[in-house]
Amino acid sequence: MIFPSPETAEISNRKRYLVGVSGGRDSVALLHWLKYDVGCRDIIVCHLNHSLRGRDSGSDARFVRNLAKSYNYQFESEKKDVRKISEQKKSSIEVTARDERLVFFAKVSRKWRCKRVILAHHADDNVETVLMNLFRGSGKLTGIRKESKVISDDVSLELQRPFLSIWRSDIDSYVTEKNIDYREDTSNRSNEFLRNRVRNTLIPSLRKIFQRDITKSVSRAAEVSMRESDMIDQILSSTEFSWINKKQLPLPKLDKLNDALQARAILSWLRKANVPGVGFREVELVRSLIKDESTAKVNLPGGKHARRRNKVIFID
Protein backbone atom coordinates (compact mmCIF):
# COMPACT_ATOMS: atom_id res chain seq x y z
CA MET A 1 0.00 0.00 0.00
CA ILE A 2 1.59 3.25 -1.16
CA PHE A 3 0.15 6.45 0.28
CA PRO A 4 1.81 9.79 -0.43
CA SER A 5 3.95 11.47 2.18
CA PRO A 6 2.92 14.99 3.25
CA GLU A 7 5.97 16.33 1.40
CA THR A 8 5.10 14.51 -1.83
CA ALA A 9 1.48 15.58 -1.56
CA GLU A 10 2.56 19.15 -0.75
CA ILE A 11 0.20 19.33 2.21
CA SER A 12 1.33 21.28 5.26
CA ASN A 13 -0.04 20.63 8.74
CA ARG A 14 0.46 24.34 9.47
CA LYS A 15 -2.02 25.56 6.86
CA ARG A 16 -5.79 25.74 6.76
CA TYR A 17 -7.64 23.62 4.20
CA LEU A 18 -11.20 23.06 3.11
CA VAL A 19 -11.81 19.33 2.58
CA GLY A 20 -14.68 17.92 0.56
CA VAL A 21 -16.17 14.95 2.45
CA SER A 22 -19.20 13.05 1.14
CA GLY A 23 -19.05 10.37 3.81
CA GLY A 24 -17.99 7.70 1.31
CA ARG A 25 -14.87 5.56 1.51
CA ASP A 26 -12.52 7.79 -0.48
CA SER A 27 -13.20 11.11 1.24
CA VAL A 28 -13.35 9.54 4.73
CA ALA A 29 -10.00 7.86 4.09
CA LEU A 30 -8.64 11.23 2.93
CA LEU A 31 -9.81 12.94 6.12
CA HIS A 32 -8.30 10.17 8.27
CA TRP A 33 -5.00 10.50 6.40
CA LEU A 34 -4.97 14.28 6.89
CA LYS A 35 -5.72 13.89 10.61
CA TYR A 36 -3.41 11.06 11.60
CA ASP A 37 -0.70 10.79 8.91
CA VAL A 38 -0.23 14.44 8.00
CA GLY A 39 -1.25 15.90 11.36
CA CYS A 40 -3.44 18.70 9.98
CA ARG A 41 -5.10 20.72 12.73
CA ASP A 42 -6.91 23.49 10.86
CA ILE A 43 -9.40 21.68 8.64
CA ILE A 44 -12.85 22.83 7.54
CA VAL A 45 -14.87 19.72 6.63
CA CYS A 46 -17.26 20.62 3.79
CA HIS A 47 -20.32 18.51 2.97
CA LEU A 48 -22.90 19.29 0.30
CA ASN A 49 -26.13 17.34 0.56
CA HIS A 50 -27.19 16.77 -3.07
CA SER A 51 -30.66 15.43 -2.09
CA LEU A 52 -30.22 12.53 -4.50
CA ARG A 53 -30.48 9.61 -2.08
CA GLY A 54 -33.61 10.32 -0.07
CA ARG A 55 -33.18 9.71 3.66
CA ASP A 56 -29.67 8.39 3.07
CA SER A 57 -28.56 11.88 2.04
CA GLY A 58 -29.52 13.22 5.46
CA SER A 59 -27.80 10.29 7.16
CA ASP A 60 -24.64 11.03 5.16
CA ALA A 61 -24.65 14.63 6.39
CA ARG A 62 -25.08 13.57 10.02
CA PHE A 63 -22.30 11.00 9.68
CA VAL A 64 -19.87 13.60 8.30
CA ARG A 65 -20.85 16.15 10.95
CA ASN A 66 -20.16 13.64 13.72
CA LEU A 67 -16.90 12.60 12.09
CA ALA A 68 -15.71 16.22 11.90
CA LYS A 69 -16.65 16.72 15.54
CA SER A 70 -14.73 13.60 16.61
CA TYR A 71 -11.65 14.94 14.80
CA ASN A 72 -12.11 18.38 16.38
CA TYR A 73 -12.53 19.93 12.92
CA GLN A 74 -14.91 22.69 11.86
CA PHE A 75 -17.91 21.58 9.81
CA GLU A 76 -19.80 23.35 7.02
CA SER A 77 -22.76 21.92 5.15
CA GLU A 78 -25.47 22.95 2.75
CA LYS A 79 -28.41 21.22 1.08
CA LYS A 80 -29.25 21.55 -2.61
CA ASP A 81 -31.85 19.81 -4.76
CA VAL A 82 -29.41 18.92 -7.53
CA ARG A 83 -31.93 17.01 -9.63
CA LYS A 84 -34.32 19.96 -9.69
CA ILE A 85 -31.50 22.42 -10.47
CA SER A 86 -30.26 20.20 -13.31
CA GLU A 87 -33.75 20.18 -14.85
CA GLN A 88 -33.97 23.97 -14.60
CA LYS A 89 -30.54 24.44 -16.17
CA LYS A 90 -31.08 21.63 -18.69
CA SER A 91 -27.75 20.18 -17.63
CA SER A 92 -26.76 16.66 -16.56
CA ILE A 93 -27.00 15.77 -12.89
CA GLU A 94 -23.25 15.08 -12.81
CA VAL A 95 -22.30 18.48 -14.24
CA THR A 96 -24.83 20.26 -12.04
CA ALA A 97 -23.57 18.48 -8.91
CA ARG A 98 -19.99 19.48 -9.72
CA ASP A 99 -20.95 23.11 -10.33
CA GLU A 100 -23.00 23.29 -7.13
CA ARG A 101 -20.10 21.85 -5.12
CA LEU A 102 -17.80 24.56 -6.47
CA VAL A 103 -20.33 27.27 -5.58
CA PHE A 104 -20.55 25.76 -2.08
CA PHE A 105 -16.75 25.69 -1.74
CA ALA A 106 -16.64 29.34 -2.86
CA LYS A 107 -19.13 30.28 -0.15
CA VAL A 108 -17.15 28.45 2.54
CA SER A 109 -13.91 29.91 1.17
CA ARG A 110 -15.22 33.44 1.69
CA LYS A 111 -16.34 32.67 5.24
CA TRP A 112 -13.09 31.05 6.35
CA ARG A 113 -10.74 33.07 4.13
CA CYS A 114 -9.23 29.92 2.69
CA LYS A 115 -8.85 29.18 -1.02
CA ARG A 116 -7.17 25.75 -0.65
CA VAL A 117 -9.56 22.83 -1.24
CA ILE A 118 -8.51 19.19 -0.87
CA LEU A 119 -10.47 16.55 -2.81
CA ALA A 120 -10.35 12.74 -2.73
CA HIS A 121 -10.02 11.96 -6.45
CA HIS A 122 -7.78 8.94 -7.07
CA ALA A 123 -6.18 7.16 -10.04
CA ASP A 124 -9.31 5.16 -10.95
CA ASP A 125 -11.32 8.40 -11.06
CA ASN A 126 -8.72 9.78 -13.44
CA VAL A 127 -8.96 6.79 -15.78
CA GLU A 128 -12.77 7.07 -15.82
CA THR A 129 -12.51 10.78 -16.66
CA VAL A 130 -10.08 10.15 -19.53
CA LEU A 131 -12.37 7.51 -21.04
CA MET A 132 -15.42 9.74 -20.65
CA ASN A 133 -13.63 12.62 -22.39
CA LEU A 134 -12.38 10.31 -25.15
CA PHE A 135 -15.82 9.01 -26.09
CA ARG A 136 -17.47 12.39 -25.68
CA GLY A 137 -15.03 13.72 -28.27
CA SER A 138 -13.90 16.59 -26.05
CA GLY A 139 -10.26 16.16 -27.09
CA LYS A 140 -9.15 16.50 -23.46
CA LEU A 141 -7.19 13.34 -22.71
CA THR A 142 -5.06 14.77 -19.91
CA GLY A 143 -7.58 13.72 -17.27
CA ILE A 144 -7.63 15.23 -13.79
CA ARG A 145 -4.76 17.37 -12.56
CA LYS A 146 -3.19 16.91 -9.13
CA GLU A 147 -3.44 20.67 -8.66
CA SER A 148 -5.70 23.06 -10.51
CA LYS A 149 -7.27 26.47 -10.14
CA VAL A 150 -10.89 27.29 -10.79
CA ILE A 151 -13.03 30.39 -10.36
CA SER A 152 -16.51 29.90 -8.94
CA ASP A 153 -18.87 32.69 -7.96
CA ASP A 154 -15.96 35.15 -8.40
CA VAL A 155 -13.83 33.21 -5.91
CA SER A 156 -10.50 31.70 -6.97
CA LEU A 157 -10.11 28.17 -5.56
CA GLU A 158 -6.94 26.08 -5.48
CA LEU A 159 -7.92 22.42 -5.81
CA GLN A 160 -5.49 19.77 -4.52
CA ARG A 161 -5.83 16.02 -5.04
CA PRO A 162 -3.16 14.20 -3.01
CA PHE A 163 -4.65 10.75 -3.75
CA LEU A 164 -4.52 11.09 -7.53
CA SER A 165 -1.54 8.75 -7.85
CA ILE A 166 -3.02 5.92 -5.78
CA TRP A 167 -5.65 3.38 -6.78
CA ARG A 168 -9.01 2.42 -5.35
CA SER A 169 -7.53 -0.86 -4.15
CA ASP A 170 -4.92 1.08 -2.14
CA ILE A 171 -7.67 3.04 -0.42
CA ASP A 172 -9.58 -0.20 0.26
CA SER A 173 -6.50 -1.63 1.96
CA TYR A 174 -5.97 1.55 4.00
CA VAL A 175 -9.58 1.61 5.18
CA THR A 176 -9.43 -2.08 6.15
CA GLU A 177 -6.10 -1.74 7.92
CA LYS A 178 -7.19 1.34 9.90
CA ASN A 179 -10.69 -0.06 10.54
CA ILE A 180 -12.32 3.11 9.25
CA ASP A 181 -16.11 3.44 9.14
CA TYR A 182 -17.71 5.15 6.15
CA ARG A 183 -21.04 5.48 4.41
CA GLU A 184 -21.82 3.05 1.59
CA ASP A 185 -23.24 4.92 -1.41
CA THR A 186 -25.59 2.44 -3.04
CA SER A 187 -26.03 4.80 -6.03
CA ASN A 188 -22.50 3.81 -7.12
CA ARG A 189 -23.97 0.50 -8.23
CA SER A 190 -26.62 2.22 -10.35
CA ASN A 191 -25.90 2.83 -14.01
CA GLU A 192 -28.08 5.94 -14.13
CA PHE A 193 -24.96 8.12 -14.23
CA LEU A 194 -22.36 8.04 -17.00
CA ARG A 195 -19.39 7.67 -14.66
CA ASN A 196 -20.98 4.63 -13.06
CA ARG A 197 -21.57 3.06 -16.48
CA VAL A 198 -17.93 3.61 -17.35
CA ARG A 199 -16.83 2.12 -14.01
CA ASN A 200 -19.29 -0.78 -13.83
CA THR A 201 -19.63 -1.74 -17.50
CA LEU A 202 -17.07 -0.21 -19.86
CA ILE A 203 -13.85 -0.81 -17.92
CA PRO A 204 -14.72 -4.45 -17.02
CA SER A 205 -15.56 -5.04 -20.72
CA LEU A 206 -12.23 -3.55 -21.84
CA ARG A 207 -10.41 -5.73 -19.31
CA LYS A 208 -12.16 -8.78 -20.73
CA ILE A 209 -11.43 -7.82 -24.35
CA PHE A 210 -7.73 -7.08 -23.80
CA GLN A 211 -7.36 -9.76 -21.10
CA ARG A 212 -5.40 -7.44 -18.82
CA ASP A 213 -5.86 -4.42 -16.57
CA ILE A 214 -6.19 -1.53 -19.03
CA THR A 215 -6.43 1.15 -16.32
CA LYS A 216 -2.64 1.42 -15.95
CA SER A 217 -2.24 1.90 -19.71
CA VAL A 218 -4.89 4.62 -19.80
CA SER A 219 -3.25 6.32 -16.83
CA ARG A 220 0.15 6.32 -18.55
CA ALA A 221 -1.33 7.70 -21.77
CA ALA A 222 -2.98 10.51 -19.78
CA GLU A 223 0.33 11.34 -18.13
CA VAL A 224 2.09 11.60 -21.50
CA SER A 225 -0.76 13.76 -22.84
CA MET A 226 -0.55 16.03 -19.80
CA ARG A 227 3.20 16.57 -20.24
CA GLU A 228 2.71 17.55 -23.86
CA SER A 229 -0.21 19.79 -22.92
CA ASP A 230 1.89 21.52 -20.27
CA MET A 231 4.62 22.15 -22.83
CA ILE A 232 2.16 23.82 -25.22
CA ASP A 233 0.74 25.92 -22.37
CA GLN A 234 4.26 27.01 -21.45
CA ILE A 235 4.92 28.13 -25.03
CA LEU A 236 1.66 30.10 -25.15
CA SER A 237 2.38 31.78 -21.82
CA SER A 238 5.40 33.59 -23.26
CA THR A 239 5.18 37.31 -24.13
CA GLU A 240 5.22 36.35 -27.81
CA PHE A 241 1.64 35.10 -27.42
CA SER A 242 0.30 37.78 -25.08
CA TRP A 243 -2.26 38.65 -27.76
CA ILE A 244 -4.36 35.57 -26.90
CA ASN A 245 -5.26 37.27 -23.60
CA LYS A 246 -7.11 40.06 -25.38
CA LYS A 247 -10.80 40.21 -26.25
CA GLN A 248 -10.11 39.97 -29.99
CA LEU A 249 -7.96 37.41 -31.78
CA PRO A 250 -5.97 38.78 -34.74
CA LEU A 251 -6.51 36.54 -37.78
CA PRO A 252 -3.04 37.08 -39.33
CA LYS A 253 -1.29 35.87 -36.16
CA LEU A 254 -3.63 32.90 -35.73
CA ASP A 255 -3.14 31.88 -39.35
CA LYS A 256 0.64 31.67 -38.90
CA LEU A 257 0.43 29.10 -36.09
CA ASN A 258 0.61 25.36 -36.67
CA ASP A 259 -2.58 23.40 -35.99
CA ALA A 260 -1.63 22.36 -32.42
CA LEU A 261 -0.73 25.86 -31.22
CA GLN A 262 -3.63 27.41 -33.09
CA ALA A 263 -6.15 25.08 -31.47
CA ARG A 264 -4.71 25.57 -27.99
CA ALA A 265 -4.61 29.35 -28.41
CA ILE A 266 -8.29 29.34 -29.33
CA LEU A 267 -9.15 26.97 -26.46
CA SER A 268 -7.39 29.24 -23.97
CA TRP A 269 -9.09 32.32 -25.42
CA LEU A 270 -12.56 30.74 -25.25
CA ARG A 271 -12.07 29.67 -21.64
CA LYS A 272 -10.89 33.12 -20.61
CA ALA A 273 -14.02 34.50 -22.27
CA ASN A 274 -16.05 32.20 -19.93
CA VAL A 275 -17.63 30.22 -22.77
CA PRO A 276 -19.10 27.12 -21.05
CA GLY A 277 -18.48 23.52 -22.12
CA VAL A 278 -15.59 24.28 -24.45
CA GLY A 279 -14.04 21.29 -26.21
CA PHE A 280 -12.80 20.03 -29.58
CA ARG A 281 -16.01 20.90 -31.46
CA GLU A 282 -16.09 24.52 -30.29
CA VAL A 283 -12.41 25.04 -31.08
CA GLU A 284 -12.89 23.65 -34.59
CA LEU A 285 -15.88 25.93 -35.15
CA VAL A 286 -13.76 28.99 -34.34
CA ARG A 287 -10.93 27.65 -36.50
CA SER A 288 -13.35 27.52 -39.42
CA LEU A 289 -13.52 31.31 -39.26
CA ILE A 290 -9.83 31.51 -40.14
CA LYS A 291 -9.93 29.69 -43.48
CA ASP A 292 -13.55 29.66 -44.59
CA GLU A 293 -14.34 33.16 -45.88
CA SER A 294 -17.97 32.19 -46.39
CA THR A 295 -18.36 31.73 -42.63
CA ALA A 296 -18.44 34.91 -40.54
CA LYS A 297 -20.28 33.64 -37.46
CA VAL A 298 -20.43 30.39 -35.45
CA ASN A 299 -22.65 29.48 -32.52
CA LEU A 300 -21.07 28.67 -29.16
CA PRO A 301 -22.48 27.23 -25.91
CA GLY A 302 -24.24 29.56 -23.50
CA GLY A 303 -25.95 31.52 -26.26
CA LYS A 304 -22.69 33.13 -27.34
CA HIS A 305 -21.28 33.59 -30.84
CA ALA A 306 -17.82 33.96 -32.37
CA ARG A 307 -17.64 36.41 -35.27
CA ARG A 308 -15.01 37.37 -37.83
CA ARG A 309 -14.79 41.01 -38.89
CA ASN A 310 -11.94 43.26 -40.05
CA LYS A 311 -9.32 40.52 -39.63
CA VAL A 312 -10.19 39.78 -36.00
CA ILE A 313 -12.33 37.19 -34.21
CA PHE A 314 -14.45 38.29 -31.27
CA ILE A 315 -17.28 36.96 -29.10
CA ASP A 316 -20.69 38.49 -28.65
Pairing of strands 116-118, 249-250: unpaired
What's the pLDDT score for residue 89?
A: 84
What's the pLDDT score for residue 7?
A: 87
In contact, 41 and 71? CB cutoff 8 Å: no
CB burial of residue 119 (10 Å; 0-12, 13-18, 19+): buried
Q: What's the residue count for the chain?
A: 316
CB atoms within 10 A of CB 101: 21
Task: Report which DSSP code applies to 191.
Answer: S
What's the pLDDT score for residue 94?
A: 87
What's the pLDDT score for residue 279?
A: 84
In which residue ranges of the chain is pLDDT below 70?
1, 139
pLDDT of 275-304, one tens digit each?
877 888 899 999 999 988 888 999 998 889
CB within 8 Å of 70: residues ≥ 6 apart: none
Beta strands across the sheet bearing 17-20: 74-79, 43-49, 17-20, 116-118, 155-160, 147-152
CA angle 4, 9, 14 (to 5 degrees): 120
What's the pLDDT score for residue 132?
A: 93
What's the pLDDT score for residue 190?
A: 80
d(CA 279, CA 307): 18
pLDDT of 37-91, one tens digit each?
999 999 999 999 999 888 899 999 999 999 999 999 999 999 999 999 999 988 8
Read off the pTM: 0.87
CB atoms within 10 A of CB 29: 24
What's the pLDDT score for residue 141?
A: 85
What's the pLDDT score for residue 302?
A: 81
Instruction: Sketch out the chain's domains with CATH numbers.
Output: 6-125+142-193 (3.40.50.620), 237-315 (1.20.59.20)
In contact, 53 and 64? CB cutoff 8 Å: no
In contact, 117 and 158? CB cutoff 8 Å: yes
Q: Identity (one letter) of the amino acid at 13?
A: N
What's the pLDDT score for residue 1?
A: 55
